[in-house]
Each structure stands twice: as structure tokens, then as C-alpha cells.
Chains A and B, each alone.
Chain A
Amino acid sequence: MIQVENLTKKFKDFTAVDAISFAVGAGEFFGFLGPNGAGKTTTIKILATLLRPTRGTARVNGYDVIREATAVRRSIGMVFQDPSLDDRLTARENLELHAMLYGVPRREIAPRMAELLELVGLADRQRDLVRKFSGGMKRRLEIARGLLHRPGVLFLDEPTVGLDPQTRNHIWEYIGGIRKNEGATVFLTTHYIEEAEACDRVGIIDHGKIIALDTPAALKAAVNADVITLQAEAPGEAVRAIREQLGLRAVLTDGVIHVPAGNGAGERLVPRLAAAVPALTALSIRKPTLEDVFLHLTGRAIREETAGALDRMREVRRASARRGG
């Protein structure tokens, strides 16, 4: 459904996407995981014909994103990071305008809208103005809108960013339902680990490059280690003690010490660590997550980077939306 080859996008001197190649198969639930500014949104924008690539080719549903832009646009559904609903119209009106823009045949509009409103749990609110909706409801409405014209690929750009954890889980229940009922190929970007874990395959993207691409299970298997984290009153001393007494290279990030442990070795290491580290305050062991995969590959944690101007504008908008109720 998606074939990308050698795709590059430069903004002046900054390379946002750096010669990436990947393919997504029909019906696949594919995710891009990476920190803010890694190039996820830029990639989605190129695939959705909103940006022209500097180099390389991309085909979506068999159409070239440069030469056959209109065909690409007709065949995809898009849910943007920021709401793109008209909040002074009702939920129903938003869907109707979308159906018109995408040339959905008139007699199909009503049953399709009813079906999707049901699917995202907004059937009873369809005649309300969108401005009265919560963030989560708006998101669900946008997802329904993206599916209205039965796209071959649905793009979800950070579908739960800015929502509280409870609402995020809620949205994911609906996305699960869509996966079952709609059968569309889904391309998702996220910087939330849990969301990436739910994908069929995940591409880990950092500084515009795909640094790993596989099923979540295979990615985690590649790390091949249990994750041991510990905290101590004197972290620097603890790191030294682990290195000298156990011969292990411990890493200190934000006051938390990570100790690498080959598969199965973790459990045997725990008592030895407890003995070696002076003034130990916390010690835990668990199986690796995609967060550890990212840490393993880049040496950094995925976390929010400093807010740009656009993020600040977003904040203002969210704040005013909250005030407006």
C-alpha cells in the first residue's frame, strides 16, 4: 500500500527526513515511533501530498505522491496532529462537508455516517456543535471523518497527543474496533511507547533516519536483555561500584542507573547488585519495552523536546478551548 524509496526532505540546511526507505503492506497496522522532531510528521505530510520531497519517491495505494497527487489524496484518510474540524459546525455537518469534498455518492453518505458515528461512539452527539466536544470526542470524530470515504490508507499523526492518559486509552479502544471492522491499512506516528507496541510493525525513527524496523516482539528480542534499573543515594559511586565489582557498564540517566543484563542473567544479577551498591534505594527488573529498544539504539530516551512556536500556539489554543468549555 505504501512504498517509500530513498525519501529525503530538506528545509534549507536542516534535513528532516534523510533517505528513508520502507514499505507497508495491505491491511497492515504500521507505526512510526520516535521523539518529537524525528521526521515522523514530515514523512506523513509527504505521503499525504502536503509537502514535496527533496529527493526520492513515494507511492501510496499505487499512486506517485508527486505526479498523481489528486489520486493519492482521494485514496487516503488523514487525521492531523492538530484538530482540523470546524468547531462552529455540528459533528454531522463536518462529516457531510467531508463527504462532499471526497465525492462520496449521495445515497451512501447517510448510512456510512451512521455506521461510523456508531463506531466512534458519537451517534447521540451528532447534532451538537463540535466546540462543545472534549478533546477525545473531537479526535474520535476526526478518525470517523478520515474513514468516511473508505480510504485505502488511514494516516494517524500522533492521534492521542495532548490528551490525558485515560482519554488516550479510550481512543485506543476505538482504534482497536476500527482495526477489526474497517480493515484499512493504518499508518500511525507516535512518541508513546504503548501505542507503538500495539502495531503490527514499528519503524523507529530518529534524526530523520529509520534506525530499526520490525515487529515489536522482534525489536525487543534484538535488545536481548532484561532491564535492571536501580537508584542509590550516591548514583556516581554506585555506577563505579557496579563497574569495578561486577564488570558491568552501568549508565546513569536522570538519577536512574540502567544495568544491561543478557537474557536470563537478570535474575541472578539482582542479589549481587544489591550487595555491591552502597545505600541502594530502589531496584527493579523487567522485560525490555520499545523504550529500551530506542535507548539501546540511540543512547537516549524518547522524551518531549523543547516546544517550538507551533507547540506554544497549540498550548494557547488548548487553554482557550478549555476555558470555552
Chain B
Amino acid sequence: MQLQAFAVAVYVIWFRELKKYFRERTRLAAMLGQPLLYLLIMGQGLRTIFQLNIEGFDYLSFMYPGVVAMTILFTSMFASVSIIWDREFGFLKEVLVAPVPRSAIAVGKALGGSTTALLQGTILLILAPLAGLTLSANAVIQILPLLFLLAFAITSFGTMVAAHTESMEGFHMIMNFIIVPLFLLSGAFFPIGTAPEWMQALMKLNPVAYGVDALRNIMFTDSPAKDFIVYYPLAYDVLVLIVFSAVMVTLSMLAFNRIE
């Protein structure tokens, strides 16, 4: 009975997240426009400066997996921001008073956020040729579950932070302090190996870096540059993301159970 109520509540929250996603066209456009800007402007601008010195390997291709991961990062975090507003003035109050376990909110939110992020990421994959990449069907089949996993990890993390935050202002502060470093230290724009020692240590703690690395693992399996730009085996990347997700979703479930 309790398990059924849990499942229903997860479904309700997930369903609501998707409904809202498809109704908000402007958000959809903004979330897609941003990575395009990065690829077209920043990528084009930086490609002349960054020389990877690898025959037939372009900076744009190097940056592309990073931009995909960035889109996942922003979409996922965005999904978790709404929790704070919702808890005080919105639908979450309705769920908090309903006869369902509150921990279901954490899971429903994480699944909803990851589903929308996955959709967003999928659309970005179509842009791969812009970065001079062709993705095989096999690669796409591996990339999609990976994007879902990365999105799940980040949304659970964001949800955990949101569950502990009282005000909207507080959350924005924290998010600026978290999102930007996660993004800059993900290895999206420069290879981990070129960074100074201390920065490399930080990058090892960044879950997004493992997402970027995993994407490069898949996208550049046959590339001559693989040894230079990929740091960990794919299985290791995935394992880190799974463990991180499990810890974060557990923490946010506990946080919601404690909410008064």
C-alpha cells in the first residue's frame, strides 16, 4: 500500500514536470539557444587559439560533448529550482499534505528533471554535424542512457540543496556558487591534463567532469585524439555517476521526509 502510494506520487510529480516542460515553449527555446551560442560563438572564437596539435581533430569537436553536458547541467538545475517556490506557494504543498510518502517528491523530481534534460540533450545531438562530428547509431544508443544518468545525478543534487534551502534568494546564491564551478571545472573547454595540479584535484571531485569524460569516451572511440582527451575508462565514469546519484537521491529523500 505504502509502496503503491510512493509509486503514484513519483508518477504524479514526473508527469507534472513533463506537462509543464512541453507547455513552456520559451523555456525550451532558451535552453536550446544557449548551447548554440556556446558552440557557434565561443567555439568559433576559441578554436583559433586552442591548438590541440592533433591531425584532423578540431577544437569544436572537443568542446561539443562539453556543451551537451552543460545543457544537461543547466536544465537539471533549473528543474530543481522550482522546488523552493513550489513548496511555499505551489503544488508541492498539496503533495506534502497528501497521504503519500514525502520522499517520493525527491524521486519524482529527479526523474522529471532527468527526463526533460534528456529530451533537451537529444535535440542537441542532432547538432553534432555543426561541430564536425558524425555519431553512429551505436554511439547514440550509448549516449542517451548516459545523458539520463548525468541528468539524474545533477537533479538529485539540486533537489538535495533545494530541500535544505529556505528562500529563493538563498538558492540563487548557492546555485551561482555551485553551477559555475561545476561547469568550468568539467573539462568542457580544456582537457583535464592541461590544468594545474590543484585544479585537477578539484576536477576529480566534479561529477560533471565524469559525464563529459564518458561522453568523450563514446564519441571519440575511434579518434586518434582519444588517448589525449579521455581520462578514465567509460565503466569508471558511469560507476562514479551511479554512486553519486544514489547518494544524492538518498540524501534528498531523507531531507523531504524531515520537512515540516
Contact = CB atoms under 8 A, between A and B. Distances in A.
Nearest to A75: B99
A73 B97 contact: yes
A70 B96 CA distance: 11
Which has the most chain A C-beta neighbours within 10 Å: B2, B11, B88? B88
B98 A73 contact: yes
- The number of chain B residues touching the other chain, given as a range, is 20 to 34
Contact of B99 (A85, A88, A102, A313): A102
Contacts of B92: 84
Contacts of B2: 70
A73 B89 CA distance: 19
Contacts of A49: 97
Contacts of B98: 73, 98, 101-102
Interface string A98-118: 101111000000000000000
Contacts of A267: none
B260 A88 contact: no
A290 B100 CA distance: 39
A262 to B, nearest CB: 47
B94 A48 contact: no
A238 to B, nearest CB: 47
A84 B8 contact: no
A93 B15 CA distance: 11
Contacts of B90: 83-86
Contacts of A98: 94, 98
Interface string B6-36: 0011011001100110011000000000000
B145 to A, nearest CB: 28
B128 to A, nearest CB: 32
B89 A82 contact: yes
B95 interface: yes
A51 interface: yes
Given A83-B89, A101-B95, A88 B19 contact: yes
A50 B260 contact: yes
Contacts of A217: none
Interface in A101-142: 101-103
Contact of B93 (A73, A76, A84, A310): A84
A74 B19 contact: no
Contact of B89 (A50, A52, A103, A317): A317
A73 B99 contact: yes
B91 interface: yes
Contacts of A84: 89-94
Nearest to A82: B89
Contacts of A71: 99
B260 A80 contact: no
Contacts of B89: 82-84, 313-314, 317
Contact of A101 (B12, B19, B88, B93): B12
A101 B8 contact: yes
Nearest to B8: A100
Nearest to A51: B260
A97 interface: yes
B239 to A, nearest CB: 36
Contacts of B260: 50-52
A67 to B, nearest CB: 15
Contacts of A89: 16, 19-20
B97 A97 contact: no
A52 to B, nearest CB: 6
Which has the most chain B C-beta neighbours within 10 Å: A83, A85, A86, A313? A86
Contacts of A76: 97
Interface in A134-189: 145
B9 A80 contact: no
B5 interface: yes
Contact of B5 (A52, A103, A145): A103
Contacts of A100: 8, 11-12
Contacts of B11: 100
A2 interface: no
Given A84-B91, A85-B91, A103-B5, A50 B16 contact: no
B16 A86 contact: yes
Interface string A28-49: 0000000000000000000011
A320 to B, nearest CB: 11
Given A84-B91, A86-B90, A88-B19, A50 B8 contact: no
15 contacts: A50-B96, A73-B97, A73-B98, A83-B89, A84-B93, A85-B91, A86-B91, A88-B19, A97-B15, A98-B98, A101-B8, A101-B9, A101-B95, A102-B98, A103-B5
Given A52-B260, A84-B93, A103-B99, 8 more contacts: A70-B99, A71-B99, A78-B97, A84-B91, A98-B98, A101-B8, A101-B99, A101-B100
- By Cβ-Cβ distance, the 9 closest A-B pairs, closest first, are A74-B99, A84-B93, A101-B98, A73-B99, A86-B91, A84-B94, A78-B97, A88-B20, A70-B99
